[in-house]
Structure 1
Amino acid sequence: LGVAVLNEDGDLIAESTTAKDKWSSHSLSSSE
C-alpha cells in the first residue's frame, strides 16, 4: 500500500523502492 500512496504524490515515486523496504519492516511489526 505504501507504494500506491507514493504513486499518487508522483514526487516520491523515485523513493518508492526505499520506502517499500521501510514499509515492509513496519508491516511485519504491525502484524505482530
Structure 2
Amino acid sequence: MLGVHMIDSMNLKKELIQMLKYLSFSEWKIQN
C-alpha cells in the first residue's frame, strides 16, 4: 500500500515539474 502511494506521488511530482517547465518556457517565449 505504502509503495504504491510513493510511486503515485513520484509520478505527480514528475507531472508537476513538466508543467512548471512548460509554463516557464511559454512565459519565456512570450517575453521574447
Q: TM-score range by the shorter chain?
A: 0.3 to 0.5
Structure showing greater radius of gyration is 2
Q: Higher relative contact order by CA 8 Å / sep ≥ 6: 1 or 2? A: 1
